[in-house]
Amino acid sequence: MQTAVKLSEQGTPHFGQYGKTFQEKIFQGLLTDHKWAAQMVEVMSPDFFEVKYLAYLTEKYFVYFGKYKAFPTLSLLISIIKDDLSNGSDIILRDQIVEFLHRIRHNPDMGDIKYVKDKALDFCKRQALKEALVQSVDDINEGKYETVVERMKTACAAGIPSTVGHDFFEDLDARFIKINRHVCPTGIDRLDASDILGGGLGRGEIGVITANTGVGKSHWLVAMGANAMLTGKNVLHYTFELTEHAVGLRYDSNLCKIPSNDVQDNKDRVKEFYKKNSDLGRLIIKEYPTGSASVLTIRNHIEKLALKGFSPGVIIIDYADIMRSSRNYDSLRHELKLIYEELRNLAMDLGLPVWTASQANRESANSEIVGLENMSEAYGKAMVADVVISLSRKAMEKSTGTGRLFIAKNRAGKDGLVFPIHIDTSMSTIEIVDEPELTLNEAVEQDENAMKNILKKKWKEVSGLNRN
C-alpha cells in the first residue's frame, strides 16, 4: 500500500518537464503520423499535456478517432473546434488554438520530430506500466495473481502498433465518412470525378502510367507532380534517367506555361511566377543512376528529408521498371513484381500516394489501346497497382499531339474507358479533349471501322489504276 501512496502522491504525470515546444511537436506528430497517433491513443491521456490548448486539441482528436476509427484532417479539426467554441465561452483558449494551428500550418518545424515521438511514446508506456503496478498492489495482497498477470500483459501491449481490424457493426460510422480516403488530384477533371478516381490517387495507393517509349510517361509524371504542387502538396520526385535539372526545367515549363526550350531564356518570368504563387507546395528532385536505387534507398532518403523538415504529400518515381530489386531472381519478371510490391508497402507505410511508370511491350507499339497484357515483362505489376492508366500514340499522331488515354485498372471506380487526349510535350501537359468517352469495345469497333474505310479507299485507288 505504501508504494501506491507514493505513486499517487506524485499527482497526474505530464509532459511539462520537456517544455512547451516539445509538447507542440507531440501534437504535430499526432497530425502527421496517423500510425503513431493510433499507438498513442492506447497509452496517452490528453491530461499529459501541461499546455491547456494542446490538451483540448488532443481530446477532440482522440474522441473523433474513437467514434470513426480515423483521424480528422487539420481543416476538419478546425471546424470541430469552431463549433465547440462558437459561444465564446473561452476566448483565450480559442485565440491560443487559432494562433498555434496557424503557425504549424504555415511554418511547420518538423526538426527532431522522430526524437520527440520516441520520447513521448516511451513516457506514456512507462506511465501505463506504473498505473498497472499501482492497481495491482491490492490484488497482490489478496492473492489475485492471475488478475495481476493479465493487467501487466495489457500494460506491456499498450502502444504496440497493431489493429484488431474493422468491427463491421461497432465501426459502422467509420464507413460513412469521406475522410478515410485522402486523395491527391490528377488535375484532369474527368479522371478526378467521383465515378472514376473519386478525387484523385489516394494515400497508400499506387498509380501506374504505362506506354511505349517516347509516348509521354515522364511527362505524365511531371504533370501529376506539378498539379500536386498547385494544391499545396509537397512533392518528392525520383528520376533514374533524366538529370535533376532537366526534370526541374520540365516543372518550370508546366507550372509557368512556357515551352521547355524557352524556359532558360525566361528566368525573370519564372521567378516572378513563383514569387506571386508562394503557396505552392515544395519540390525535391532526387536523381539516382539507372538500376542503382532500391525501395530501401528511397526509404533512407525520405528519412533524411524528414530530419530536415521535409514531409512529402506525394511521391513520383520515374520509373519503377529501372529500379534495383532488393532480391535477385533468375527471372526479370519476378524482380519487377517484387519492386512493385515493395513500393506498395512503402506507400502504405508512409500513407502517401505513389505515381510511377511502366514500359509497354513492343507488340503494343502500333496498337490503338495499350492494355494490362501489354505491360512489359511482368503482368504481376498490374496486380499490385491500384490504378493503371495507359497512353497510346501512333507515329503519325505525335506531330499533332493527339492520342488515347485508357483506364486499364481502377480500384476506386470505373475502368475500361477510353478518352481522346492532347499531349503537349513542350510543357508536359495532358488534357482530355472535348469528345465523348468510349468503352473499350466501342473504341476497338471504331478502330476496326476506321481500318476498313482505309482499306476500302486503298482498294478503290488500286482498282482505278488497274483499269487504266
Helix residue spans in 196-294 (DSSP H): 217-230, 244-256, 267-276
Q: Find out whether 254 and 226 touch, Cβ atoms under 8 Å.
A: yes
Instruction: For residue 423, give every residue at least 6 positions away whose Cβ sits within 8 Å of its Cβ, in sequence order, or none.
Output: 215, 216, 219, 391, 393, 401, 402, 403, 429, 430
Find the domain containing 137 and state its range.
2-157
Residue 446 lies in a domain: no
**Contact between residue 358 and residue 373 where contact means Cβ atoms under 8 Å apart:** no
Q: Give dist(CA 276, CA 279) in Å, integer.
A: 9
| Residue 112 maps to a domain | yes
| Counted domains in the chain | 2
Q: Which residues on neighbouring strands pair with residue 407, listed in sequence order?
A: 389
User: CATH number of the domain that 96 lies in?
Assistant: 1.10.860
pLDDT of residue 449: 58
Q: Under a CB-based contact definition with an 8 Å cutoff, are residues 430 and 419 in contact?
A: no
**What are the backbone dihedrals phi and psi of residue 451, each rounded to the nearest 5 degrees, phi first?**
-65, -40
What is the model's pLDDT at position 415?
Answer: 92
**One domain for residues 241 and 116:** no
Q: Please report whether residue 142 resides in a domain.
A: yes
Name the phi and psi angles at 204, rounded to 5: 80, 5
Q: What is the pLDDT of residue 189?
A: 94
Cα angle 178, 348, 388; round to 5 = 80
Specify the pTM.
0.66
Same domain, residue pair 138 and 279: no
One domain for residues 241 and 321: yes
- Candidates 69, 203, 41; CA nearest to 128 is 41
Q: Domain for residue 461, yes or no?
A: no
Q: At what angle do helices 332-350 and 295-307 cross, to 10 degrees?
A: 20
Cell of 366: 502500333
Domain annotation covers residue 187? yes
Q: Residue 302: what residue type?
A: I
Is residue 94 located within the same domain as residue 192?
Answer: no
Residues 115 and 203 in one domain: no
Number of H helices, E strands in the chain: 16, 12
| Contact indicator for 207, 385 with CB cutoff of 8 Å | yes
- Using only the alpha carbons of the chain, give its radius of gyration: 28
Specify the pLDDT at position 459.
54
Calculated CA dihedral for residues 457, 463, 466, 467, nearest 10 degrees: -120
Q: Are residues 101 and 140 in the same domain?
A: yes
Sign of the four-CA dihedral 233, 238, 244, 248: negative
Q: What integer pLDDT is reported at residue 457 of this predicted model?
A: 54
Cis peptide before 319 (omega within 30 of 0): yes
Which of 419, 426, 437, 418 shows the shortest CA–CA distance to 401?
426
The CATH number of the domain holding residue 190 is 3.40.50.300
Is 147 inside a domain boundary?
yes
Same domain, 283 and 327: yes
Cell numbers found for residue 346: 512503402
128 lies in the same domain as 228 = no
The pLDDT value given to residue 255: 97
Kindly give the residue spans of alpha helices, DSSP state H, lying in 277-320. Answer: 295-307
Phi and psi torsions of 277, nearest 5°: -120, 60
Task: Output the DSSP codes for 380-402.
Answer: HHHHH-SEEEEEE--GGGTTTTE
Cα gap 151→410, rounded to integer Å? 46
Same domain, 98 and 219: no
The number of CA neighbours under 13 Å toward the Cβ of 404 is 24
According to DSSP, the β-strands at 201-202 and 183-184 are: antiparallel
The CA–CA distances, whole Å, from 36 to 70, 395, 412 equal: 13, 51, 26
pLDDT of residue 1: 31
Does residue 447 fall inside a structural domain?
no
Q: Are residues 191 and 143 in the same domain?
A: no
Q: Do 212 and 138 share a domain, yes or no?
A: no
163, part of any domain: no
- pLDDT attached to residue 465: 52
C-alpha cell at 214: 517516347
Do 286 and 250 reside in the same domain of the chain? Answer: yes
Grid cell at residue 282: 515544395
Q: List, for the chain, all residue ranges whose pLDDT scores fall below the cut of 70.
A: 1-12, 88-89, 107-111, 157-164, 174, 177-181, 307, 365, 376-379, 435-436, 439-468
* Concatenated DSSP letters of 142-189: TT-HHHHHHHHHHHHHTTSS------TTTTGGGGG-GGG--EE--S-H
Q: 426 in helix, strand or coil?
A: coil
Provide the CA 448 distance to its chain's centre, in angstroms. 40
